[in-house]
Amino acid sequence: MKLTWLGHGTFQIVLPDGETLILDPWTNGNPSYPAGFEITRCDTILVTHGHFDHLQDAPPLATKFDSNVVSIYELAAWLRGKGVAKSLEMNKGGTQRVGSVDVTMTHAIHSAGIAQEDGTYVYGGEAAGYVLRFGDGRVIYFAGDTTVFGDMALIAELYKPDLAFLPIGDLYTMGPREAALACKLLKVPVVVPMHFGTFPPLTGRPSTLQALVPDTKIWELTPGVTVDW
């Protein structure tokens, strides 16, 4: 499959047959979105929580590509109200097949209010993560925004991820110190760091994390540069 970091917490996964997943879509206004990169297909969108930097472009992308949009129960209802026809709700511990991928929702420790244009917030359920199990047997854990939590050991035991996407930027999520413990709890060989460097306060860096976990491959991607995995 082909992985492309689209900056901040946004990723594109293209499977060998072209099936395309977009994780936490934030394109317009994302300071680290790769200039000129065009999303040309989008079968499935996964949204971890209701903050704008993970949600903002889900409705327009879903409308343009008639995408499935997976999210937690309350956020799924909100998305339906925004015109998303194929809003697939679920909750933590549950699994559903979306396209060719088995999608399991996991816990995350983070807030999840949905900002409204008038400055108020709508309850968006809870923040979540996802485990993606692909047809070839490989498993990705996409943490969303979270700090480390002890039950990452359960994710390791239940799903045995081959690759994890972990936030490391600090301030709004865990930083490298916490992410290092997450690497150990998840027993995952390869970690793609995310949610860092977008704005100056997101100070965590992959090199800092790598120094703390020499036995884990910290795989730093470049926004807009597609890699094979």
Q: Under the rule (CB under 5 A), what is the footprint of Ni ion?
A: 51, 145
Instruction: CB nearer to Mn ion: give 20 or 48.
Output: 48
8 Å CB contact between 1 and 13:
yes
8 Å CB contact between 167 and 196:
yes
Instruction: CB nearer to Mn ion: give 108 or 131.
Output: 108
CB of 194 vs Ni ion, minimal distance in Å:
12
| φ, ψ dihedrals at 212, nearest 5° | -85, -25
CB of 123 vs Mn ion, minimal distance in Å:
18
Instruction: CB nearer to Ni ion: give 8 or 51.
Output: 51
Rounded distance between C-alpha atoms, residue 103 and residue 94, angstroms: 8
Instruction: CB nearer to Ni ion: give 48 or 210.
Output: 48
Residues that bind Mn ion (CB under 5 A): 53, 145
8 Å CB contact between 30 and 53:
yes
Give the closest residue to 140 by CA, choosing from 116, 111, 164, 115: 164
8 Å CB contact between 12 and 22:
yes
CB of 117 vs Ni ion, minimal distance in Å:
18
Instruction: CB nearer to Mn ion: give 57 or 145.
Output: 145
CB of 49 vs Mn ion, minimal distance in Å:
8
Rounded distance between C-alpha atoms, residue 191 and residue 161, angstroms: 10
CB of 197 vs Mn ion, minimal distance in Å:
13
CA distances for 90 relative to 5, 10, 58, 75, angstroms: 25, 21, 17, 10
CA distances for 57 relative to 46, 84, 111, 157, 205, angstroms: 11, 11, 19, 33, 26
